[in-house]
Amino acid sequence: MKIVYDSLHSNYRPTKEIDNGRFIENPEKPERIDAIKEAMILHGFDNLTPPGKFPANYVYMVHEESYVEWLKAKSSSTPENEEYILEVFGYDMCFDTGTPILHNTFETAKRAVDVTLTAASIVESGTDTVYALVRPPGHHATRNLCGGYCYFNNAAIAANYLIKRGTDRIVILDLDFHHGNGTQEIFYNTDLVYYISIHGDPKIFYPWISGKESEVGEGPGEGFNLNLPLPPHANWERYSEALSYAVREIRDYYPDVLIISLGFDTHKEDPVGKFDLEDEDYARIAKQISKLKLPTLVVQEGGYNPKSNASAAVNFFSSFE
C-alpha cells in the first residue's frame, strides 16, 4: 500500500476558533496526522510518496471561482502570525466560526488537493489501495464555502478527477463522525457519484444543517445519497449495523472505485466526536470494506487525538486486505 504525504503540512498550524462565543484551542494540528505517519512506518507501512503538483483547474471544477479567489485573497492579506476568523456571514465565504484563515491557508489547502490527486492518480494506474494522509481535511467544504476546518473538498475533487479520466461509477463512503455536508452538496444533483455517510445525528451534532435520512438526492441524483445517522455513544454493535448496510449498498452498486473519507473522530478517546468505537473496531471496519475487493482511495478527514488516531489507523490498514 502506498501512502501519499506532504511534510510541508506541518507549517500550517491554526491555534484558535470561536465556539459558543468564546475562543477555544483549535484541534486541527499537525500532530494529528504525524502521529499516524510515525505509527504506520513503525508497523511496516513505509511506502511514503511525496505529492506531485496539479493545475488549479481541478479545484475550479468543484469550487466556484468567486470562493477560490476569496480564499486566495483572504489568505494573502492575513499577516503572518495572525488568524482571521469569520466576521460577517454572507460577506465572508465561510459557514462557521471554527475555520480560521491564515497567511498560508490557500497554499496549504491546495497542497492537500495535490496530495489527494496524487493518490487518485496512483489508484487510476492500478494500485489497489492508496492512502492520502492529508490535512487540512475537506468533506465540509461546499462549492462556495469553507467550514469545519475544511477549505477545498479533497475527496470530491479526487472523484471529479477520476470521472474526467473515464471512471464511470464511484462511491464515496464517509466514515468521519460528522456528516460531510460539502460532499453531499457537491454531488446532490448528480448520479455520477453515490455518496454514503455514517455519522452522528445532525439533530445533535455539527454540522446540524445536513445529514438527515430524508436527504436522498435530487433530480438525476435522487437515490444517490444515503445518510445513516447514529445516536451519541454508538458502540460497535450499533455502528456495525449501519456499516453492514452501507457495504451491501456498495456491493450492489459495484463501483469502479471506492473513495473513503476516513475520520478517526469516531474513536471513544477523540475530544470532538462522540461515538464509542475502540481500537479493534477499526480492524473490523477495514475487514468488512476490504471484502468488496475494489480499488480504494482513502482520504484522511477528521480525528483530533493523535494517540487514538495512530492506533486506529494501524488497526484499520493492518486489516485492509
What are φ and ψ of residue 3, in 5° steps?
-120, 125
Residue type, 100: P
> What is the structure's pLDDT at 149?
98
User: Tens digit of pLDDT for each residue in 191-205?
Assistant: 999 999 999 999 999
According to DSSP, residue 234 is labeled -
| Mean pLDDT, rounded, of the chain | 97
> What is the structure's pLDDT at 87?
72
> What is the structure's pLDDT at 30?
98
Q: Where do runs of H (alpha helix) occur along 78-132? A: 105-124
The domains located in the chain, with CATH, are 2-318 (3.40.800.20)
Nearest to 141 by CA among 88, 182, 195: 182
> What is the structure's pLDDT at 89?
74
> What is the structure's pLDDT at 86?
85
pTM: 0.98
> What is the structure's pLDDT at 321?
75
Task: Please give the Cα distance from 16 to 245 (Å, whole number).
Answer: 38
Q: Give the residues across from 198 on adjacent strands.
A: 228
Query: Annotated active-site positions, please?
Result: 140
Task: Please give the Cα distance from 178 to 174 (Å, whole number).
Answer: 9
> What is the structure's pLDDT at 25?
97
Burial of residue 162 (number of CB atoms within 10 Å: 0-12, 13-18, 19+): buried
User: Tens digit of pLDDT for each residue in 38-85?
Assistant: 999 999 999 999 999 999 999 999 999 999 999 999 999 999 999 999
Task: Tell me whether strands 22-25 and 16-19 are parallel, antiparallel or unpaired.
Answer: antiparallel
pLDDT < 70 regions, the chain: 88
Residue type, 187: F
